[in-house]
Structure 1
Amino acid sequence: MLSHLAYQPIMPCGNKYLQQKWDQISYDFHRNKIKSMQPTLDTKAPKKYDHLSPQKPKSKDMYTRKIERENILLLERLSHIMLTSGRVDNRNSYERKSLNVEKRQRELRQINMENQSMLTRLSQSKPHYDVKKLHGDWLQARKLVDAIARYPSRSQQGEEKAGKKMTTRKKTTNTSTGTTNVGKIASATTTTSTAQDDSEEESSNEKTEESNSP
């Protein structure tokens, strides 16, 4: 009985009890109208007609026989096409043509000329940096660093070892050349001494012959 006291109407009213009663009546009337309403569009499935329904094969054997017959016909058509040239001649001697062939050829020639000129410039250009001079400067800097360093670097030790090896090789070559020169001088002196002995023997023989002759 006191439920109308907690009712909150949408619009302001003077009596909540009557307003709740009227709102309930209108709500029930609305619900009844929704239940009894009819659709304006017919959304039912269409009526089926026997003469328009697709004919299904009566049995599975008939369906398989139909598929086999269609496959045989298709195979015969393919074999006929393979054996003969077919009804349609799809081969032709059409050559591709273009409207900008000359333009593309001109661009290609221009690119080739530019590449050739670039190649000639690169081949004729001289280096900006002198490699020998840079290497000499680096060696000079290494020498200065080794001169002021407390301990010699590995490169300096390697250079000293290489220098020692070169000096020993030079000494060995000088000694070998000296021995060969000494041998040559000794052989020359022996040949000159033998020649002098032969000349002396000939002169002595001539003197003895002159003394023995009357």
Structure 2
Amino acid sequence: MHKSYRSTCPATNKFLKKRWDDKYYSDHRILVRDAQPCVDARPPQTFLHLHMKYKKFQLEEEHRAIIERDNRILLEKVSHIMKTKGSVDSHHQYELKSLNQGKRRQELLKVSKENANIMKRLMQQKLDINRENWKDNWAKNSVYFDNIAKYDIDWFISK
């Protein structure tokens, strides 16, 4: 009986898997049989945030705050212009120089040389992979897979 049983999950012992599945199913049927109906006839709860549109209030408040800030800045600029006389802007455009540019270049060269040395050492290393061990392990694991497989290996071949 358990040889022909096909479970939804693979198992090492098909007889025990069938017994467990039958037990789970009978427990489920008992729970379904003893279930009590439950109908909620109360009116649905009304949520205030669906009617008040808090996001709209928040955006309006932020918009007002931005307008007030811009007005204050503009007023300060106008009052500054009124208090002072005009002046000539004669700013010189200076080119910025980095004091660490040479040091950074040296660091970059040093790191690239170290990376090249590491790459050279990696390329000179012999591989430590044994293909025969991989084949033996694969054969052993495939036997284990066949033992717990849901269907036979040649289930699709018509005889």
TM-score tier by shorter-chain length is: 0.3 to 0.5
Higher relative contact order (CA 8 A, sep 6+): 2
Structure with the higher helix share, 1 or 2: 1
Q: For the pair shown, which has the larger CA radius of gyration, 1 or 2? A: 1
- Normalising to structure 2: TM-score of the pair? 0.33
